[in-house]
Amino acid sequence: MMRILALLSLLAAVPAAPAPLTVRMGESWIFSVRNGEPVNARKVGNTATPAHNQIRVSLQPMMGTTMTVTNNSPHDYAYRATLVVDGRPAEAKSCAVPANGRLAIEHWPKPVSAVILSRFRAAPAGSLCP
């Protein structure tokens, strides 16, 4: 019994690994990046502004699918975008997100129900599409 309790206490102390963020059509989210994944994500209104070291993402049904990204950190990010089309994941080309609060716009011609964001990594300053 003591071994089981010891094992359970060890498992409880292990923090959950950051997971990808799913942004559904019409949603806006603000989050930070840690170990390449979104953390402390929270759904926000369309006019919310990200604080220092935060990123804001919005997904809208304009001309297929348009995602706007504001990266208020001091460095550019490249990331992985997985589109959810008809309930199935589909890899998508994504461009780097510029730093210091500048706006980036991603566009895909197909309508999607969601975009899954993951694998953020620092990109060279001024990067466009890696």
Give the range of the structural domain holding residue 58, as residue numbers without chain letter. 17-122
**Within a domain: 11:** no
The pLDDT score that the predictor gives to residue 12 is: 52
**Within a domain: 23:** yes
Between 1 and 32, residue with greater pLDDT: 32
The pLDDT score that the predictor gives to residue 9 is: 52
The pLDDT score that the predictor gives to residue 119 is: 95
Q: What's this model's pTM, rounded to 2 decimal places? A: 0.83
**Within a domain: 100:** yes
Model pLDDT for residues 10-57, shown as the tens digit of each residue: 445 545 567 899 999 999 999 999 999 999 999 999 889 999 999 999
**Within a domain: 127:** no
**Within a domain: 53:** yes
pLDDT band at 1 (very low <50, low <70, confident <90, very high): low
SS3 39: strand
**Within a domain: 128:** no
Sole residue written with tokens 């297929």: 64
User: Number of folded domains in the chain?
Assistant: 1
**Within a domain: 4:** no
Model pLDDT for residues 65-124, shown as the tens digit of each residue: 999 999 999 989 999 999 999 999 998 888 888 989 999 999 999 999 999 999 999 988
The pLDDT score that the predictor gives to residue 25 is: 97
**Within a domain: 117:** yes
For residue 67, give the nearest of 88, 46, 87, 49 by alpha carbon. 46
The pLDDT score that the predictor gives to residue 10 is: 46
